[in-house]
Structure 1
Amino acid sequence: MLSSFLSVNREITVGQWPLVKRFLKGIFNLKPSLPRYQKTWDVNIVLQYLMTLTPVHMLTLRVLSYKLVTLLLLLTGQRLQTIHCFDLDDINVTDSSIYIDVRTLLKCSKPGSHLQPIELPAFIDDDRLCIVTVFKEYLLRTSSFRKTQKLILSCVKPYQHVSKATIARWVKTVLQLAGIDITIYKSHITRSASTSAAFQCATSIDTILKAAGWSNDSTFRKFYNRPVSKQNYNDNFSVKVLRSQKLSN
Protein backbone atom coordinates (compact mmCIF):
# COMPACT_ATOMS: atom_id res chain seq x y z
CA MET A 1 0.00 0.00 0.00
CA LEU A 2 2.79 2.42 0.93
CA SER A 3 4.52 1.68 -2.37
CA SER A 4 1.48 3.11 -4.15
CA PHE A 5 2.11 6.53 -2.61
CA LEU A 6 5.75 6.68 -1.54
CA SER A 7 9.00 6.12 -3.37
CA VAL A 8 12.66 6.45 -2.45
CA ASN A 9 13.44 7.86 -5.86
CA ARG A 10 11.97 7.68 -9.36
CA GLU A 11 13.26 4.18 -9.92
CA ILE A 12 12.52 2.38 -6.64
CA THR A 13 9.43 2.22 -4.46
CA VAL A 14 9.41 1.90 -0.69
CA GLY A 15 8.49 -1.80 -0.94
CA GLN A 16 11.56 -2.51 -3.08
CA TRP A 17 14.01 -0.53 -0.96
CA PRO A 18 16.68 -3.04 0.26
CA LEU A 19 16.50 -1.88 3.89
CA VAL A 20 12.69 -2.32 3.95
CA LYS A 21 12.97 -5.76 2.34
CA ARG A 22 15.52 -6.85 4.95
CA PHE A 23 13.29 -5.50 7.72
CA LEU A 24 10.21 -7.40 6.48
CA LYS A 25 12.25 -10.57 6.08
CA GLY A 26 13.40 -10.21 9.68
CA ILE A 27 9.78 -9.83 10.83
CA PHE A 28 8.86 -13.03 9.00
CA ASN A 29 11.73 -14.88 10.68
CA LEU A 30 10.66 -13.64 14.12
CA LYS A 31 6.94 -14.24 13.61
CA PRO A 32 6.39 -16.37 10.51
CA SER A 33 2.99 -16.43 8.85
CA LEU A 34 2.42 -20.18 8.82
CA PRO A 35 -0.82 -22.17 8.53
CA ARG A 36 -2.55 -22.52 11.89
CA TYR A 37 -3.43 -26.16 11.24
CA GLN A 38 -1.35 -28.77 9.44
CA LYS A 39 -4.18 -31.29 9.60
CA THR A 40 -7.85 -31.33 10.45
CA TRP A 41 -10.03 -33.57 12.60
CA ASP A 42 -11.94 -36.46 11.11
CA VAL A 43 -15.56 -35.55 10.39
CA ASN A 44 -16.46 -39.15 11.21
CA ILE A 45 -15.79 -38.55 14.91
CA VAL A 46 -18.33 -35.76 15.16
CA LEU A 47 -20.87 -37.51 12.92
CA GLN A 48 -20.70 -40.59 15.11
CA TYR A 49 -21.48 -38.44 18.13
CA LEU A 50 -24.35 -36.65 16.37
CA MET A 51 -25.84 -40.05 15.55
CA THR A 52 -26.24 -40.67 19.28
CA LEU A 53 -28.43 -37.56 19.61
CA THR A 54 -31.62 -39.33 18.59
CA PRO A 55 -34.58 -39.46 18.27
CA VAL A 56 -34.76 -35.73 17.63
CA HIS A 57 -38.21 -35.31 19.14
CA MET A 58 -36.81 -36.50 22.49
CA LEU A 59 -33.92 -34.02 22.56
CA THR A 60 -34.01 -30.85 24.61
CA LEU A 61 -34.14 -27.62 22.63
CA ARG A 62 -30.52 -26.90 23.52
CA VAL A 63 -29.22 -30.25 22.30
CA LEU A 64 -31.40 -30.02 19.19
CA SER A 65 -29.92 -26.59 18.50
CA TYR A 66 -26.40 -27.98 18.94
CA LYS A 67 -27.10 -30.74 16.45
CA LEU A 68 -28.71 -28.40 13.93
CA VAL A 69 -25.95 -25.78 13.80
CA THR A 70 -23.19 -28.40 13.68
CA LEU A 71 -24.86 -30.28 10.82
CA LEU A 72 -25.49 -27.04 8.94
CA LEU A 73 -21.84 -26.03 9.21
CA LEU A 74 -20.58 -29.44 8.14
CA LEU A 75 -23.04 -29.96 5.30
CA THR A 76 -22.72 -26.51 3.77
CA GLY A 77 -19.01 -25.88 4.23
CA GLN A 78 -19.93 -22.32 5.23
CA ARG A 79 -18.63 -19.85 7.78
CA LEU A 80 -20.40 -19.18 11.07
CA GLN A 81 -21.45 -15.84 9.59
CA THR A 82 -23.52 -17.55 6.90
CA ILE A 83 -25.34 -19.85 9.31
CA HIS A 84 -25.97 -16.88 11.59
CA CYS A 85 -27.62 -15.00 8.69
CA PHE A 86 -30.08 -17.74 7.71
CA ASP A 87 -33.57 -16.29 7.48
CA LEU A 88 -36.78 -18.29 7.19
CA ASP A 89 -37.97 -16.00 4.40
CA ASP A 90 -35.07 -17.30 2.31
CA ILE A 91 -35.59 -20.99 3.13
CA ASN A 92 -37.88 -23.53 1.50
CA VAL A 93 -38.26 -26.87 3.29
CA THR A 94 -39.81 -29.98 1.74
CA ASP A 95 -39.76 -33.65 2.69
CA SER A 96 -36.91 -34.24 0.27
CA SER A 97 -34.68 -31.18 0.64
CA ILE A 98 -33.91 -27.77 2.11
CA TYR A 99 -33.33 -24.89 -0.29
CA ILE A 100 -31.60 -21.79 1.12
CA ASP A 101 -31.09 -18.60 -0.89
CA VAL A 102 -29.03 -16.27 1.30
CA ARG A 103 -29.84 -12.63 0.50
CA THR A 104 -27.65 -11.09 3.19
CA LEU A 105 -24.29 -9.47 2.47
CA LEU A 106 -21.56 -11.97 3.34
CA LYS A 107 -17.79 -11.89 3.61
CA CYS A 108 -17.53 -13.57 0.20
CA SER A 109 -19.99 -11.15 -1.44
CA LYS A 110 -18.68 -8.67 -3.98
CA PRO A 111 -20.09 -6.81 -6.99
CA GLY A 112 -21.36 -9.37 -9.48
CA SER A 113 -20.67 -12.32 -7.19
CA HIS A 114 -22.60 -13.78 -4.26
CA LEU A 115 -23.05 -17.12 -2.55
CA GLN A 116 -24.96 -19.58 -4.72
CA PRO A 117 -28.22 -21.02 -3.30
CA ILE A 118 -27.63 -23.93 -0.95
CA GLU A 119 -29.52 -27.19 -1.46
CA LEU A 120 -29.40 -29.89 1.22
CA PRO A 121 -31.14 -33.13 0.21
CA ALA A 122 -32.61 -35.48 2.77
CA PHE A 123 -30.08 -38.13 3.78
CA ILE A 124 -31.98 -41.36 3.21
CA ASP A 125 -29.04 -43.57 4.20
CA ASP A 126 -29.44 -42.79 7.91
CA ASP A 127 -32.28 -40.76 9.40
CA ARG A 128 -30.13 -39.93 12.43
CA LEU A 129 -28.01 -37.66 10.23
CA CYS A 130 -30.79 -36.32 8.03
CA ILE A 131 -30.67 -32.53 8.04
CA VAL A 132 -34.27 -32.30 6.82
CA THR A 133 -35.49 -34.29 9.83
CA VAL A 134 -33.51 -32.16 12.29
CA PHE A 135 -34.49 -28.92 10.55
CA LYS A 136 -38.22 -29.66 10.54
CA GLU A 137 -38.16 -30.69 14.19
CA TYR A 138 -36.37 -27.45 15.08
CA LEU A 139 -38.94 -25.35 13.22
CA LEU A 140 -41.76 -27.23 14.94
CA ARG A 141 -40.17 -26.84 18.36
CA THR A 142 -39.55 -23.09 18.00
CA SER A 143 -42.82 -22.18 16.24
CA SER A 144 -44.73 -21.45 19.45
CA PHE A 145 -42.38 -18.71 20.68
CA ARG A 146 -40.66 -17.51 17.50
CA LYS A 147 -40.80 -13.73 17.12
CA THR A 148 -38.19 -13.33 14.39
CA GLN A 149 -37.58 -14.85 10.97
CA LYS A 150 -33.94 -15.47 11.78
CA LEU A 151 -33.43 -19.22 11.95
CA ILE A 152 -31.24 -19.81 15.01
CA LEU A 153 -32.77 -18.74 18.32
CA SER A 154 -31.54 -18.83 21.89
CA CYS A 155 -32.60 -21.74 24.08
CA VAL A 156 -33.97 -19.58 26.90
CA LYS A 157 -36.41 -16.70 27.14
CA PRO A 158 -36.89 -14.32 25.41
CA TYR A 159 -35.73 -16.66 22.59
CA GLN A 160 -33.99 -14.00 20.55
CA HIS A 161 -31.72 -14.43 17.56
CA VAL A 162 -28.36 -15.66 18.85
CA SER A 163 -24.99 -14.06 18.12
CA LYS A 164 -22.19 -15.62 16.09
CA ALA A 165 -20.23 -16.05 19.31
CA THR A 166 -23.04 -18.16 20.75
CA ILE A 167 -23.13 -20.42 17.70
CA ALA A 168 -19.36 -20.80 17.91
CA ARG A 169 -19.66 -21.77 21.57
CA TRP A 170 -22.33 -24.36 20.75
CA VAL A 171 -20.15 -25.91 18.06
CA LYS A 172 -17.14 -26.04 20.39
CA THR A 173 -19.30 -27.84 22.93
CA VAL A 174 -20.27 -30.46 20.34
CA LEU A 175 -16.65 -30.91 19.27
CA GLN A 176 -15.56 -31.36 22.87
CA LEU A 177 -18.34 -33.88 23.61
CA ALA A 178 -17.39 -35.77 20.47
CA GLY A 179 -13.79 -36.06 21.65
CA ILE A 180 -12.13 -33.34 19.55
CA ASP A 181 -9.31 -31.44 21.27
CA ILE A 182 -10.76 -27.90 21.37
CA THR A 183 -7.48 -26.54 22.76
CA ILE A 184 -6.11 -27.13 19.26
CA TYR A 185 -9.16 -26.87 17.01
CA LYS A 186 -11.60 -23.98 17.11
CA SER A 187 -15.20 -23.85 15.90
CA HIS A 188 -14.36 -22.24 12.55
CA ILE A 189 -12.33 -25.27 11.46
CA THR A 190 -15.59 -27.10 10.62
CA ARG A 191 -15.19 -25.40 7.22
CA SER A 192 -11.81 -27.01 6.68
CA ALA A 193 -12.93 -30.39 8.06
CA SER A 194 -16.03 -30.66 5.87
CA THR A 195 -14.44 -29.46 2.63
CA SER A 196 -11.39 -31.67 3.18
CA ALA A 197 -13.64 -34.69 3.88
CA ALA A 198 -15.65 -34.01 0.73
CA PHE A 199 -12.45 -33.65 -1.33
CA GLN A 200 -11.11 -36.96 -0.03
CA CYS A 201 -14.40 -38.54 -1.12
CA ALA A 202 -13.56 -37.62 -4.72
CA THR A 203 -15.94 -34.66 -4.78
CA SER A 204 -15.16 -32.43 -7.74
CA ILE A 205 -13.39 -29.15 -7.06
CA ASP A 206 -16.20 -27.27 -8.78
CA THR A 207 -18.74 -28.74 -6.34
CA ILE A 208 -16.60 -27.79 -3.34
CA LEU A 209 -15.99 -24.26 -4.60
CA LYS A 210 -19.70 -23.74 -5.27
CA ALA A 211 -20.70 -25.08 -1.85
CA ALA A 212 -18.15 -23.04 0.09
CA GLY A 213 -18.50 -19.89 -2.01
CA TRP A 214 -14.90 -19.72 -3.26
CA SER A 215 -14.15 -18.25 -6.67
CA ASN A 216 -11.00 -20.32 -7.30
CA ASP A 217 -9.39 -23.43 -5.90
CA SER A 218 -6.21 -21.74 -4.65
CA THR A 219 -7.98 -20.60 -1.45
CA PHE A 220 -9.17 -24.13 -0.71
CA ARG A 221 -5.85 -25.81 -1.50
CA LYS A 222 -3.73 -23.30 0.41
CA PHE A 223 -5.79 -22.69 3.54
CA TYR A 224 -8.47 -25.37 3.95
CA ASN A 225 -7.44 -28.65 2.35
CA ARG A 226 -5.86 -30.73 5.11
CA PRO A 227 -5.25 -34.48 5.54
CA VAL A 228 -8.43 -36.31 6.59
CA SER A 229 -9.96 -39.77 6.26
CA LYS A 230 -10.61 -40.99 2.71
CA GLN A 231 -14.14 -41.68 1.54
CA ASN A 232 -15.85 -42.05 -1.85
CA TYR A 233 -19.42 -41.63 -3.16
CA ASN A 234 -21.56 -39.47 -5.45
CA ASP A 235 -20.83 -35.81 -6.11
CA ASN A 236 -23.34 -34.10 -3.81
CA PHE A 237 -21.41 -32.06 -1.24
CA SER A 238 -23.62 -32.64 1.82
CA VAL A 239 -24.19 -36.35 1.10
CA LYS A 240 -20.44 -36.81 0.63
CA VAL A 241 -19.75 -35.35 4.07
CA LEU A 242 -22.36 -37.57 5.72
CA ARG A 243 -21.29 -40.75 3.96
CA SER A 244 -17.68 -40.20 4.93
CA GLN A 245 -18.37 -41.68 8.35
CA LYS A 246 -19.79 -44.93 6.93
CA LEU A 247 -16.81 -45.75 4.74
CA SER A 248 -14.29 -45.37 7.55
CA ASN A 249 -15.76 -48.29 9.49
Structure 2
Amino acid sequence: MLASLSNSTIKQYNTSLKLWWQFCIVHNIDVYKPSLSAVLKFLSAQFNNGCAYGSLNSHRSALSALIGNNLGSNDCVKRLLKGAYKLKPTRPKYSNTWDPQLVLNHISTWIPNSDLSLEKITKKLVTLLAICTAHRVQTFSLIKLENILLSDSGIKINISDIIKTSGPGRDQPVLFLPYFRENISICPATVLSDYISRTKNIRPEGTNILILTYKRPHKPATTQSISRWLKQVLSESGVDTSVYGAHSTRHASSSAASSAGVSIETIRKTAGWTASSNSFARFYHRPVINEGEFAQSVCLSG
Protein backbone atom coordinates (compact mmCIF):
# COMPACT_ATOMS: atom_id res chain seq x y z
CA MET A 1 0.00 0.00 0.00
CA LEU A 2 2.68 2.49 0.99
CA ALA A 3 4.66 1.75 -2.18
CA SER A 4 1.73 3.08 -4.21
CA LEU A 5 2.12 6.51 -2.60
CA SER A 6 4.80 9.09 -3.30
CA ASN A 7 6.79 10.60 -0.42
CA SER A 8 5.03 13.95 -0.89
CA THR A 9 1.62 12.24 -0.74
CA ILE A 10 2.58 10.40 2.45
CA LYS A 11 3.61 13.70 4.05
CA GLN A 12 0.35 15.27 2.92
CA TYR A 13 -1.69 12.37 4.31
CA ASN A 14 0.21 12.50 7.62
CA THR A 15 -1.18 15.98 8.24
CA SER A 16 -4.73 14.81 7.58
CA LEU A 17 -4.37 11.66 9.67
CA LYS A 18 -3.00 13.59 12.66
CA LEU A 19 -6.10 15.80 12.59
CA TRP A 20 -8.29 12.70 12.29
CA TRP A 21 -6.52 11.02 15.22
CA GLN A 22 -7.04 14.08 17.42
CA PHE A 23 -10.70 14.33 16.37
CA CYS A 24 -11.30 10.65 17.21
CA ILE A 25 -9.72 10.97 20.66
CA VAL A 26 -11.82 14.02 21.55
CA HIS A 27 -15.07 12.44 20.30
CA ASN A 28 -14.31 8.84 21.38
CA ILE A 29 -14.43 7.47 17.83
CA ASP A 30 -12.82 4.28 16.53
CA VAL A 31 -9.97 5.54 14.32
CA TYR A 32 -10.13 2.60 11.91
CA LYS A 33 -13.86 1.79 11.96
CA PRO A 34 -15.76 5.05 12.26
CA SER A 35 -19.37 5.58 11.27
CA LEU A 36 -20.14 7.57 8.16
CA SER A 37 -21.63 10.34 10.30
CA ALA A 38 -18.34 10.61 12.21
CA VAL A 39 -16.41 11.12 8.96
CA LEU A 40 -18.90 13.75 7.80
CA LYS A 41 -18.62 15.55 11.14
CA PHE A 42 -14.82 15.52 10.85
CA LEU A 43 -14.86 16.96 7.34
CA SER A 44 -17.45 19.57 8.33
CA ALA A 45 -15.34 20.56 11.35
CA GLN A 46 -12.28 21.03 9.15
CA PHE A 47 -14.31 23.16 6.73
CA ASN A 48 -15.58 25.31 9.60
CA ASN A 49 -11.97 25.70 10.77
CA GLY A 50 -11.07 27.29 7.44
CA CYS A 51 -10.27 24.38 5.12
CA ALA A 52 -11.18 24.97 1.48
CA TYR A 53 -12.17 22.32 -1.05
CA GLY A 54 -8.60 21.27 -1.89
CA SER A 55 -7.70 20.57 1.75
CA LEU A 56 -10.94 18.70 2.36
CA ASN A 57 -10.32 16.57 -0.71
CA SER A 58 -6.89 15.72 0.68
CA HIS A 59 -8.47 14.73 4.00
CA ARG A 60 -10.98 12.55 2.16
CA SER A 61 -8.21 10.77 0.24
CA ALA A 62 -6.20 10.16 3.41
CA LEU A 63 -9.22 8.74 5.26
CA SER A 64 -10.15 6.60 2.26
CA ALA A 65 -6.65 5.09 2.25
CA LEU A 66 -6.85 4.42 6.00
CA ILE A 67 -10.45 3.27 6.37
CA GLY A 68 -11.33 1.87 2.94
CA ASN A 69 -14.96 0.86 2.36
CA ASN A 70 -15.08 3.05 -0.76
CA LEU A 71 -15.25 6.08 1.51
CA GLY A 72 -13.94 8.43 -1.16
CA SER A 73 -16.80 7.61 -3.54
CA ASN A 74 -19.57 7.64 -0.94
CA ASP A 75 -22.48 9.82 -2.15
CA CYS A 76 -22.79 11.72 1.14
CA VAL A 77 -19.06 12.48 1.25
CA LYS A 78 -19.10 13.58 -2.39
CA ARG A 79 -22.07 15.85 -1.75
CA LEU A 80 -20.35 17.42 1.26
CA LEU A 81 -17.25 18.11 -0.85
CA LYS A 82 -19.42 19.58 -3.61
CA GLY A 83 -21.03 21.92 -1.11
CA ALA A 84 -17.62 22.96 0.19
CA TYR A 85 -16.50 23.75 -3.35
CA LYS A 86 -19.53 25.95 -3.96
CA LEU A 87 -19.02 27.84 -0.71
CA LYS A 88 -15.23 28.14 -1.11
CA PRO A 89 -14.34 27.46 -4.75
CA THR A 90 -10.75 26.60 -5.62
CA ARG A 91 -9.04 29.54 -7.27
CA PRO A 92 -5.75 29.62 -9.19
CA LYS A 93 -2.78 30.88 -7.19
CA TYR A 94 -2.00 33.46 -9.88
CA SER A 95 -4.48 35.61 -11.81
CA ASN A 96 -1.72 36.69 -14.19
CA THR A 97 1.95 36.00 -14.69
CA TRP A 98 5.25 37.58 -15.67
CA ASP A 99 6.90 37.83 -19.06
CA PRO A 100 9.72 35.26 -19.47
CA GLN A 101 11.56 37.80 -21.62
CA LEU A 102 12.38 39.73 -18.44
CA VAL A 103 14.38 36.81 -17.13
CA LEU A 104 15.88 35.87 -20.50
CA ASN A 105 17.12 39.43 -20.99
CA HIS A 106 18.76 39.30 -17.58
CA ILE A 107 20.59 36.00 -17.96
CA SER A 108 21.56 36.79 -21.58
CA THR A 109 24.17 39.17 -20.11
CA TRP A 110 25.85 36.23 -18.36
CA ILE A 111 28.37 35.50 -21.10
CA PRO A 112 30.52 33.83 -22.14
CA ASN A 113 29.61 30.63 -20.32
CA SER A 114 33.27 29.70 -19.94
CA ASP A 115 33.88 32.82 -17.82
CA LEU A 116 30.92 32.35 -15.50
CA SER A 117 31.33 31.23 -11.93
CA LEU A 118 29.98 27.78 -11.10
CA GLU A 119 27.12 29.47 -9.26
CA LYS A 120 26.08 31.57 -12.26
CA ILE A 121 26.27 28.84 -14.89
CA THR A 122 24.29 26.55 -12.56
CA LYS A 123 21.58 29.17 -12.08
CA LYS A 124 21.58 29.94 -15.81
CA LEU A 125 21.08 26.25 -16.61
CA VAL A 126 18.18 25.66 -14.19
CA THR A 127 16.49 28.87 -15.33
CA LEU A 128 16.64 27.89 -19.00
CA LEU A 129 15.47 24.37 -18.17
CA ALA A 130 12.47 25.82 -16.33
CA ILE A 131 11.55 28.33 -19.03
CA CYS A 132 12.21 26.12 -22.05
CA THR A 133 10.48 22.95 -20.80
CA ALA A 134 7.80 24.21 -18.33
CA HIS A 135 8.49 21.16 -16.17
CA ARG A 136 8.55 20.94 -12.39
CA VAL A 137 11.71 21.38 -10.35
CA GLN A 138 11.39 17.73 -9.31
CA THR A 139 12.01 16.70 -12.92
CA PHE A 140 15.24 18.73 -13.16
CA SER A 141 16.60 17.23 -9.94
CA LEU A 142 16.27 13.74 -11.49
CA ILE A 143 18.13 14.37 -14.78
CA LYS A 144 20.92 11.81 -15.17
CA LEU A 145 23.96 12.10 -17.39
CA GLU A 146 23.39 8.75 -19.11
CA ASN A 147 19.90 9.90 -20.15
CA ILE A 148 21.17 12.99 -22.00
CA LEU A 149 21.36 12.44 -25.76
CA LEU A 150 23.14 14.97 -27.99
CA SER A 151 22.28 15.61 -31.63
CA ASP A 152 22.85 18.35 -34.22
CA SER A 153 19.42 19.87 -33.61
CA GLY A 154 19.49 19.85 -29.83
CA ILE A 155 19.64 17.76 -26.68
CA LYS A 156 17.07 15.15 -25.68
CA ILE A 157 16.73 14.24 -22.00
CA ASN A 158 14.88 11.09 -20.94
CA ILE A 159 13.50 11.09 -17.40
CA SER A 160 13.64 7.51 -16.13
CA ASP A 161 12.66 8.07 -12.48
CA ILE A 162 9.12 8.15 -11.18
CA ILE A 163 7.79 11.72 -10.96
CA LYS A 164 4.51 13.30 -9.86
CA THR A 165 2.75 12.65 -13.17
CA SER A 166 4.06 9.10 -13.65
CA GLY A 167 1.52 6.31 -13.76
CA PRO A 168 0.63 2.98 -15.39
CA GLY A 169 0.24 3.41 -19.14
CA ARG A 170 1.72 6.91 -19.17
CA ASP A 171 4.87 7.78 -21.08
CA GLN A 172 7.77 9.11 -19.07
CA PRO A 173 8.76 12.73 -19.81
CA VAL A 174 11.23 13.52 -22.56
CA LEU A 175 12.73 17.02 -22.46
CA PHE A 176 14.16 18.63 -25.58
CA LEU A 177 16.51 21.60 -25.59
CA PRO A 178 17.10 23.09 -29.05
CA TYR A 179 20.13 25.03 -30.22
CA PHE A 180 19.40 28.74 -30.58
CA ARG A 181 22.01 29.59 -33.19
CA GLU A 182 20.61 33.11 -33.57
CA ASN A 183 21.00 33.91 -29.85
CA ILE A 184 23.76 31.81 -28.36
CA SER A 185 23.67 33.75 -25.07
CA ILE A 186 20.42 32.03 -24.03
CA CYS A 187 20.85 28.79 -25.96
CA PRO A 188 19.70 26.07 -23.52
CA ALA A 189 21.50 23.24 -25.32
CA THR A 190 24.79 25.16 -25.33
CA VAL A 191 24.49 26.05 -21.65
CA LEU A 192 23.80 22.40 -20.79
CA SER A 193 26.81 21.21 -22.80
CA ASP A 194 29.04 23.84 -21.20
CA TYR A 195 27.74 22.92 -17.74
CA ILE A 196 28.55 19.25 -18.24
CA SER A 197 32.10 20.16 -19.29
CA ARG A 198 32.45 22.59 -16.40
CA THR A 199 31.42 20.05 -13.75
CA LYS A 200 33.31 17.09 -15.18
CA ASN A 201 36.32 17.44 -12.89
CA ILE A 202 34.44 18.36 -9.72
CA ARG A 203 31.75 15.70 -9.97
CA PRO A 204 31.99 13.24 -7.05
CA GLU A 205 32.83 9.71 -8.16
CA GLY A 206 29.73 7.69 -8.98
CA THR A 207 27.46 10.76 -9.14
CA ASN A 208 25.36 10.64 -12.30
CA ILE A 209 22.82 13.34 -11.40
CA LEU A 210 23.30 16.31 -13.72
CA ILE A 211 22.71 19.30 -11.45
CA LEU A 212 25.11 19.67 -8.55
CA THR A 213 25.33 22.20 -5.73
CA TYR A 214 27.84 24.90 -6.61
CA LYS A 215 29.34 24.79 -3.13
CA ARG A 216 31.61 21.97 -2.04
CA PRO A 217 31.33 19.03 -1.81
CA HIS A 218 29.11 19.47 -4.92
CA LYS A 219 26.37 17.02 -4.02
CA PRO A 220 23.33 16.37 -6.24
CA ALA A 221 21.05 19.41 -5.94
CA THR A 222 17.76 18.94 -4.12
CA THR A 223 14.44 20.32 -5.32
CA GLN A 224 14.64 22.88 -2.52
CA SER A 225 18.02 24.15 -3.73
CA ILE A 226 16.90 24.39 -7.36
CA SER A 227 13.73 26.25 -6.32
CA ARG A 228 15.78 28.68 -4.25
CA TRP A 229 18.13 29.37 -7.18
CA LEU A 230 15.23 29.96 -9.55
CA LYS A 231 13.60 32.38 -7.15
CA GLN A 232 16.87 34.29 -6.77
CA VAL A 233 17.18 34.68 -10.55
CA LEU A 234 13.54 35.82 -10.81
CA SER A 235 14.16 38.44 -8.13
CA GLU A 236 17.32 39.69 -9.83
CA SER A 237 15.38 39.96 -13.10
CA GLY A 238 12.71 42.20 -11.61
CA VAL A 239 9.98 39.62 -10.97
CA ASP A 240 8.07 40.20 -7.73
CA THR A 241 9.02 37.10 -5.74
CA SER A 242 6.72 38.08 -2.89
CA VAL A 243 3.97 37.02 -5.31
CA TYR A 244 5.66 34.58 -7.70
CA GLY A 245 7.64 31.55 -6.61
CA ALA A 246 9.89 29.17 -8.51
CA HIS A 247 6.89 27.15 -9.71
CA SER A 248 5.56 30.24 -11.50
CA THR A 249 8.07 29.59 -14.30
CA ARG A 250 5.65 26.85 -15.35
CA HIS A 251 2.81 29.36 -15.58
CA ALA A 252 4.91 32.02 -17.30
CA SER A 253 6.45 29.86 -20.01
CA SER A 254 3.27 27.92 -20.86
CA SER A 255 1.19 31.11 -20.97
CA ALA A 256 3.79 32.86 -23.16
CA ALA A 257 3.86 29.88 -25.51
CA SER A 258 0.07 29.95 -25.79
CA SER A 259 0.10 33.70 -26.49
CA ALA A 260 2.67 33.07 -29.24
CA GLY A 261 0.28 30.65 -30.94
CA VAL A 262 1.67 27.30 -29.78
CA SER A 263 -1.07 24.67 -29.73
CA ILE A 264 -2.43 23.44 -26.39
CA GLU A 265 -1.54 19.89 -27.42
CA THR A 266 2.13 20.88 -27.86
CA ILE A 267 2.09 22.75 -24.54
CA ARG A 268 0.58 19.76 -22.75
CA LYS A 269 3.09 17.36 -24.25
CA THR A 270 6.07 19.61 -23.52
CA ALA A 271 5.06 20.43 -19.95
CA GLY A 272 4.11 16.86 -19.08
CA TRP A 273 0.32 17.03 -18.91
CA THR A 274 -1.70 14.14 -20.27
CA ALA A 275 -3.96 14.59 -23.30
CA SER A 276 -7.02 14.51 -21.03
CA SER A 277 -5.61 16.98 -18.50
CA ASN A 278 -7.30 20.36 -18.17
CA SER A 279 -4.72 21.71 -15.72
CA PHE A 280 -3.35 24.19 -18.25
CA ALA A 281 -6.76 25.69 -18.98
CA ARG A 282 -7.76 25.82 -15.30
CA PHE A 283 -4.59 26.90 -13.53
CA TYR A 284 -1.74 27.80 -15.87
CA HIS A 285 -3.16 29.79 -18.78
CA ARG A 286 -2.74 33.32 -17.42
CA PRO A 287 -2.37 36.69 -19.18
CA VAL A 288 1.24 37.87 -19.25
CA ILE A 289 1.68 41.11 -17.34
CA ASN A 290 2.65 44.16 -19.36
CA GLU A 291 2.35 46.99 -16.86
CA GLY A 292 3.40 49.59 -19.43
CA GLU A 293 0.92 48.55 -22.08
CA PHE A 294 -1.58 51.37 -21.44
CA ALA A 295 1.06 54.10 -21.30
CA GLN A 296 2.77 52.77 -24.42
CA SER A 297 -0.50 52.69 -26.35
CA VAL A 298 -1.17 56.30 -25.44
CA CYS A 299 2.32 57.73 -25.90
CA LEU A 300 3.16 55.81 -29.08
CA SER A 301 -0.19 56.11 -30.82
CA GLY A 302 0.95 59.09 -32.86
- The TM-score, its normalising length taken from structure 2, stands at 0.68
Q: 1:15 to 1:86 in 2, by over 3 A?
A: same
What secondary structure is seen at the aligned counterpart in 1 of 2:247? helix
What secondary structure is seen at the aligned counterpart in 2 of 1:195? helix
- Per the alignment, residue 49 of structure 1 pairs with 106
Size of the aligned set, in residue pairs, is 221
- Per the alignment, residue 164 of structure 1 pairs with 223
Q: 1:111 to 1:52 in 2, by over 3 A?
A: same
RMSD: 2.4
Establish whether residue 144 from structure 1 lines up as the match of residue 204 from structure 2. Answer: no
2:236 maps to a residue whose letter is: L
The gaps in structure 2 that reach 5 residues or longer are 1-59, 291-302
Establish whether residue 14 from structure 1 lines up as the match of residue 76 from structure 2. Answer: yes
Q: 1:196 to 1:140 in 2, by over 3 A?
A: same
Asked if structure 2 preserves the Cα contact closer than 8 Å seen for 1:122 and 1:130, the reply is: yes
- Per the alignment, residue 62 of structure 1 pairs with 119
Establish whether residue 221 from structure 1 lines up as the match of residue 277 from structure 2. Answer: no
Asked if structure 2 preserves the Cα contact closer than 8 Å seen for 1:197 and 1:229, the reply is: no
- Per the alignment, residue 52 of structure 2 pairs with none
**1:119, CA displacement in angstroms?**
1.9
What secondary structure is seen at the aligned counterpart in 2 of 1:113? coil
Of 203-212 and 162-171, the range deviating more from structure 2:
203-212
Q: Give me the whole-angstrom Cα distance separating, in 1, the residues matched to 2:188 and 2:212.
A: 17
What secondary structure is seen at the aligned counterpart in 2 of 1:180? coil
What secondary structure is seen at the aligned counterpart in 2 of 1:99? strand
Deviation per CA, 1:158-215: give whole Å up to 9, x if none.
1110110000000000000000000000001111111111111111112111101111
Deviation per CA, 1:1-53: give whole Å up to 9, x if none.
5794499xxxx942377xx579x44x864x55221100011111111101111
Which residue among 77, 96, 100 is the counterpart of 2:157?
Answer: 100
Task: Mark the structure with the bigger radius of gyration.
Answer: 2
Of 146-155 and 210-219, the range deviating more from structure 2:
210-219
- Per the alignment, residue 197 of structure 1 pairs with 256
Q: 1:224 to 1:55 in 2, by over 3 A?
A: same
1:15 maps to a residue whose letter is: V
Of 193-202 and 87-96, the range deviating more from structure 2:
87-96
- Per the alignment, residue 155 of structure 1 pairs with 214
**1:96, CA displacement in angstroms?**
3.5
What secondary structure is seen at the aligned counterpart in 2 of 1:100? strand
The gaps in structure 1 that reach 5 residues or longer are 231-249
What secondary structure is seen at the aligned counterpart in 2 of 1:183? coil
- Per the alignment, residue 139 of structure 2 pairs with 82
Q: Which has the higher contact order (CA 8 A, sep 6+)?
A: 1
Q: Which runs of 4+ in 1 moved over 4 A?
A: none
Q: Give me the whole-angstrom Cα distance separating, in 1, the residues matched to 2:72 and 2:156.
A: 50
